[in-house]
Amino acid sequence: MFEGFTRFDVTRRGVRLHGQIRRHSDADAPAMVLLHGHPQTHAIWHHVAAPLTRHFHVVLMDLRGYGDSDKPPSDAQHLPYSKREMALDVLAVMLHHGFERFHVLGHDRGARVAHRLGVDHPHAVDRMMLLDIAPTLAMYEGTTDAFARAYWHWFFLIQPAPLPETLIGADPVAYLHRVMGSRHAGLEVFAPEALREYERCALQEGFVHAMCEDYRAAAGIDLEHDRADVAAGRKLTQPLRVLCGEYGVVHPNFDVLALWQQRAEQASYGTTPSGHYIPEEAPQALLDEALAFFLETSA
């Protein structure tokens, strides 16, 4: 799915982070890292990665707990799966490849990691595009009946271990199909080779627990970090572009632009003709948006 890309493994504090990279022929071209969401891997970018390499050094990586990256043990506070820790993973991968400053394109969980990366390490992030999320704190605080029913997994995965692990562990692929297939476009939108990759990784030892820990962190330590930002007036300082699927859950349930304007100094908003899985449902629309946004100051 990623012709011309080279696989890599970077280890940070004992956690192996897997991904792929394709460098631009111009060493001075800007760099971009692409961060996937739940319950997927970096394979979500298979439609858009190659076209992006015409303009950027492109790095794809599996978040810790997902894909072929390690699934480290957690703790009572779920700190190893905090978005702050995951953001440090991204920073380490990019520095390993020689990129001290770069663009970030993140979907779903990857977008939440990107948000934390931009707040904690503003010197490293040039421009940021986030796909189909509102700020985590705002989404939890603004939960409605409609949102809770649509995003039921947010509240199921955070239950104390081992309940969700036991239930999902009985058939992780069935869980993956249920979550992905119940959205706007169904399972048919996913390329067979990408779906097989998601299924393969869902069956890896430790995946289910790591996935739950990601969400437990989001409902706990991540909210503490977000509240501290709000209290201190810390915002994203980079230009921020947010895209939501017109037929998804976030766009109709939240005032996405207003919420991001509270958390970022420069935020703009748009929609794509898709549901949640924008990179796979509307890749051309995403490419058009990404190139217009990221090349605005890169030329």
Q: What is the pLDDT of residues 63-102, one digit of tens each?
A: 999 999 999 999 999 999 999 999 999 999 999 999 999 9
Is the pLDDT reported for residue 56 higher than 50? Answer: yes
pLDDT at position 62 is 99
pLDDT at position 299 is 44
Average pLDDT over residues 118-125: 98
Q: Point out the catalytic residue in the list 38, 47, 107, 276.
A: 276
Mean pLDDT rounded to a whole number for the chain: 97
Per the domain annotation, does 243 fall within a domain? yes
pLDDT at position 24 is 98
Total domains, the chain: 1
Is the pLDDT reported for residue 11 higher than 70? Answer: yes
Q: What is the pLDDT of residues 175-209, one digit of tens each?
A: 999 999 999 999 999 999 999 999 999 999 999 99
For position 69, which CATH number holds?
Answer: 3.40.50.1820
Q: Give the model's confidence band at 297: pLDDT under 50 very low, under 70 low, under 90 confident, else very high.
A: low
Per the domain annotation, does 283 fall within a domain? yes
Per the domain annotation, does 299 fall within a domain? no
Q: Point out the catalytic residue in the list 108, 132, 222, 226.
A: 108
Per the domain annotation, does 165 fall within a domain? yes
Q: What is the pLDDT of residues 122-177, one digit of tens each?
A: 999 999 999 999 999 999 999 999 999 999 999 999 999 999 999 999 999 999 99
- Give the domain extent around 76: 6-294
Reference 161, options 67, 236, 75, 225; nearest CA is 75
Per the domain annotation, does 76 fall within a domain? yes
| 57 tagged catalytic | no
Is the pLDDT reported for residue 34 higher than 50? Answer: yes
Per the domain annotation, does 1 fall within a domain? no
| 89 tagged catalytic | no
How large a percentage of the chain has pLDDT more than 90?
Answer: 99
pLDDT at position 164 is 98
